[in-house]
A and B are shown apart, each in its own frame.
Chain A
Amino acid sequence: MLEIQNLHVKLEDEPREILKGLSLTVKPGEVHAIMGPNGSGKSTLSYVLSGRAGYEVTDGSVSFKGENLLEMDPNMRAAKGVFLAFQYPIEIPGVATMQFLKVALNAQRKARGEKELSIPDFMRFVKERAAKLNISQEMLKRPVNVGFSGGEKKRAEILQMAVLEPSLCILDETDSGLDIDALKVVADGVNALRSPDRAMIVITHYQRLLDYIVPDFVHVLSAGKIVKSGGKELAHELEANGYAEFVEKVA
């Protein structure tokens, strides 16, 4: 599904490289966790995959379902099935969450040449998905992320994911700022979306999230490269020993 090869990335207006030859293969149905210390390039990876401006790919390739992902605008990537759950979701004043979901879903359906959902069908669909994430009708009427608590923002991100039904979900530090109860709700929401034809990349600093979203593979990202890969037990190892070993290796 996703094939990243020797990816080198720098900021457009800075010479310093952030990703220095990252390679990763993700197949349908797999959940990959990417762990690493601050500044290792985790968020950069999520932004480059989703197409944020300001980054320059200097070498390497990313193919998604056999197509060159890097050539596509962010909205095309979304229509093809890439979804990024933001670490810090953005506020859009005056736009109700329900409205936002409708516009986004219809934009994607249009891009794929599908028909728009009728309003009653759409409402039913969203309400059903929202209920699973403890998202009330009242919250759907509030403007996107405006005045949301940390937990509400993350739940809203997962709701967007549940409604847009992407084939590749990238979760960027979805656990940050969540207490344990909120974390469970979010993890349940994510787990409910696991399926044989959907892949996930879970980016996290801490192992805690991976107790709830159990990955198939764990990768350690340090200084712009994957320095170690393994099964879910690798996360526990990291929790016990910290990242020091990897940081030093690179230095």
Chain B
Amino acid sequence: MADQDTIELVKTIEVDKYKYGFETDIESDYAPKGLNEDIVRFISDKKGEPQWMLDWRLEAYRSWLHMENPTWAKVSFPKIDYQDLYYYAAPKSMAAPKSLDEIDPKLLETYAKLGIPLKEQEILAGVRKQGEKSMLDDDGNEVITGRVAIDAVFDSVSVVTTFKDELKKADVIFCSISEALREHPDLVKQYLGSVVPQGDNFYAGLNSAVFSDGSFVYVPPGVRCPMELSTYFRMNAKNTGQFERTLIIADKGAYVSYLEGCTAPTREESQLHAAVVELIAHEDAEIKYSTVQNWYPGDAEGKGGVYNFVTKRGDCRGARSKISWTQVETGSAITWKYPSVILRGDSSRGEFYSIAISNGKQQVDSGTKMIHLGKNSSSRIVSKGIAAGRSDNTYRGLVSAHRKATYARNFTQCDSLLIGDQCGAHTVPYIESKTSTAQFEHEATTSKISDDQMFYCMSRGLSQEEAVALIVNGFVRDVLQQLPMEFMAETQKLIGISLEGSVG
């Protein structure tokens, strides 16, 4: 009886909990269902790609045919029928690239509804007004937030990229990867697949064959990108896989901070999302890459939701280069994701900060790989896993040192927080060192939200859900602080929302 009540309660909360679940009614242009060489050609043709790009895709497709689905992660799901999916969907009105003024109002409306203003004047006039004191940070200091340039990707195409002119003045290239293939083919050719090769793994192989759009960033030597860059991915079309490809290059001494956000409509069928992100940092360059992933997580019983099978890897190619991954994973039915850093350059630095929240029947298997190749390279991993409901939350990480990576250093901290007694948290660290001079440290804790903490917060006026959100936000504070200031407050709210219905 009591259990039934709880289930009902969770169900009702679940329904309005995912507030990005609406669908945009827009006519789309699809590729025929299924996957074969013709589909690969169709996508390449739609994008007007050069021959070498098509050849590259076909090579990927042919090697993918011989690859196996990876099975080592602690996740389970029914076999995916890759012939039952659409591999390309684009709003019809997007047939020809247009300026912002010509974009289908339905699309603008969609992004407005998601809280993403695309018109620059709106951004300037809206919540992110420059210099406006609008927030209180964790330390109780007032914070001034800045501007953000956005690339909006809707299903398989990029809708618009804002602040292009201003970025151009700084010589920063920020555009969709389709546009980069047209405007800057040499750069794309030089770097694409250089970090995640076509045959890297099953999902990366699939992505390489059929990727549709994504963002491209190139920051030239010595340039500090003048604003935050951000891509907002929206999956709308039904039964359609999203395969975006992002490529970011920071040339010698350059700096860029980039953030991606993701949402999808509420659907009963699961949706596949297999992205590849490649980062390249040359000598003395720094890339900060943040993700706030909020794909539809499925309902309380595990029906529907996005399969988020993503390969993200950064290459610290030059000496003293630095790559930092920060991820906040709240959505998706299944997350299979290990943003990694190859520490090739001497004294290079890799960082991975992660908040992974699972509720309902979500399954998360996420972590990182820090592969130390260069001398004196160092890395830091801070992972905060929060499991609620009947979810499973696994941290899986590898730290390795090549024999030449003398004096490599790593510090890993994995903390898990359990809410309720039907969820699971697991920590699976792999450590491999081929040099005796490497210094690797690993710390792990597991805790629960105590009744005392709940009562203390509630006796001060917080509702049960506000109390959970506050305590969890405290638990993940070290990682939250790594996010660009512009996104911190929203992320804190998101953490609260994704845990609704987890207690009581």
Contact = CB atoms under 8 A, between A and B. Distances in A.
Interface of A: 50-54, 73-75, 77-79, 83-84, 86, 89-100, 102-105, 107-108, 111, 119-120, 123, 140-141, 143, 160, 164
Contacts of B457: 92, 104
B436 interface: no
Nearest to B451: A53
A78 B138 contact: no
Name, among A50, A119, A160, the residue most crowded by chain B CB atoms within 10 Å (CB to CB).
A119
Given A53-B455, A78-B459, A90-B453, A96 B139 contact: yes
Contact of B456 (A53, A86, A99, A119): A86
Interface in B420-454: 450-453
Contact of B462 (A97, A104, A123, A143): A104
Given A104-B462, A119-B133, 14 more contacts: A53-B451, A74-B455, A74-B458, A75-B459, A77-B459, A78-B458, A79-B461, A92-B471, A94-B477, A95-B470, A98-B136, A99-B140, A107-B463, A123-B140
B460 A104 contact: yes
B473 interface: yes
Given A92-B474, A119-B133, A98 B139 contact: yes
Given A103-B470, A107-B461, A92 B140 contact: no
B228 interface: no
Given A92-B453, A100-B470, A84 B461 contact: no
B460 A99 contact: no
A51 B459 contact: yes
A164 B470 CA distance: 18
A54 B451 CA distance: 10
B142 interface: yes
A227 B205 CA distance: 80
14 contacts: A53-B451, A53-B455, A73-B458, A74-B458, A75-B458, A83-B459, A92-B457, A92-B474, A99-B140, A102-B136, A102-B140, A105-B461, A119-B142, A160-B460
Nearest to B143: A119
Contacts of B455: 52-53, 74, 90
A163 B462 CA distance: 15
A107 B136 contact: no
Contacts of B476: 94
Contact of B461 (A89, A90, A119, A164): A164
B486 interface: no
A101 B457 CA distance: 10
A115 B33 CA distance: 53
B459 A84 contact: yes
A94 B480 CA distance: 11
A78 B138 CA distance: 24
A98 B140 CA distance: 6
Contacts of A75: 458-464, 466
A135 B464 CA distance: 29
Name, among A51, A89, A104, the residue most crowded by chain B CB atoms within 10 Å (CB to CB).
A104
B473 A95 contact: yes
A63 B277 CA distance: 61
Contacts of A77: 459
Nearest to B467: A75
B163 interface: no
Contacts of B411: none
A165 to B, nearest CB: 12
A78 B458 CA distance: 8
Contact of B470 (A92, A98, A120): A92
B65 to A, nearest CB: 48
B478 interface: yes
Contact of B140 (A91, A107, A140, A164): A140
B425 to A, nearest CB: 17
A103 B476 CA distance: 17
A100 B457 CA distance: 9
B140 A96 contact: yes
B462 A119 contact: no
Contacts of B463: 73, 75, 107
A103 B464 CA distance: 13
A84 B459 CA distance: 7
Contacts of B453: 90-92
Contacts of A160: 460
Nearest to A80: B461
Interface string B465-500: 010001101111110000000000000000000000
A125 to B, nearest CB: 12
A24 to B, nearest CB: 20
A96 B470 CA distance: 10
B461 A96 contact: no
Given A74-B455, A86-B456, A94-B475, A99 B461 contact: no
A123 B133 CA distance: 13
A104 B458 CA distance: 9
Nearest to A145: B456
Nearest to A82: B459
Name, among A103, A105, A140, the residue most crowded by chain B CB atoms within 10 Å (CB to CB).
A103
Contacts of A102: 136, 140
Nearest to A74: B458
Nearest to A94: B474
